[in-house]
């Protein structure tokens, strides 16, 4: 079995979930993409895509330590995301973690692997 960032992240999240209940939460990333303009309706079509994974809010790491060079706003929260299969988080995506809804402000792809992310979010 090959060791990847995705498998390491999944094992880390599994380990935390086994030791501390309620810390690891399911999450859904939602992206709405604008399509073609329809002159008969005067609006653009949209497509909504979703992907599910797990999220962990980090209140002990400074955002600038996790995302060097990024200056976070006063209400931004740091969340670690793993387990997404089809979408890579990006700015303005929606992110539901547990029962709360957020807007993604900034994303860092941990070690450039495309499978484990640090993101800042604000309540939406």
pTM confidence score: 0.91
User: What pLDDT digit, counting tens, does each position of 5-41 carry?
Assistant: 999 999 999 999 999 999 999 999 999 999 999 999 9
CB 29 within 8 A of CB 95: yes
* Other residues' Cβ atoms within 10 Å of the Cβ of residue 33: 10
**Residue-number span of the structural domain to which 61 is assigned:** 5-20+27-34+42-123
pLDDT class of 1 with cuts at 50, 70, 90: low
Q: What is the mean pLDDT of residues 41-55?
A: 96
User: What pLDDT digit, counting tens, does each position of 72-91 carry?
Assistant: 999 999 999 999 999 999 99
Strand (E) positions, 14-69?
Answer: 25-38, 43-58
pLDDT for position 2: 78
Q: Is the pLDDT of residue 101 over 90?
A: yes
| Rounded Cα distance, 32 and 26, in Å | 20
The total of structural domains in the chain comes to: 1
Characterize 75-110 residue by residue with b for buried, 16 or more Cβ atoms within 10 angstroms of its Cβ, and e for exposed.
ebbbbbbbbbeebebeeebbbbbeeeebebbbbbeb
């Amino acid at each position: 079995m090959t060791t990847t960032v995705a498998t390491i992240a999944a094992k880390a999240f599994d380990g935390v979930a086994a030791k501390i209940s309620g810390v690891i939460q399911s999450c859904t990333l939602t992206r709405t993409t604008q399509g073609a303009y329809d002159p008969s309706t005067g609006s653009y079509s949209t497509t909504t895509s979703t992907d599910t994974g797990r999220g962990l809010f980090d209140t002990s790491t400074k955002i600038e330590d996790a995302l060097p060079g990024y200056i976070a706003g006063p209400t931004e929260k740091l969340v670690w995301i793993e387990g997404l299969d089809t979408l890579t988080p990006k700015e303005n995506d929606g992110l539901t973690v547990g029962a709360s809804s957020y807007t993604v402000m900034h994303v860092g792809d941990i070690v450039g692997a495309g499978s484990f992310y640090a993101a800042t979010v604000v309540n939406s």
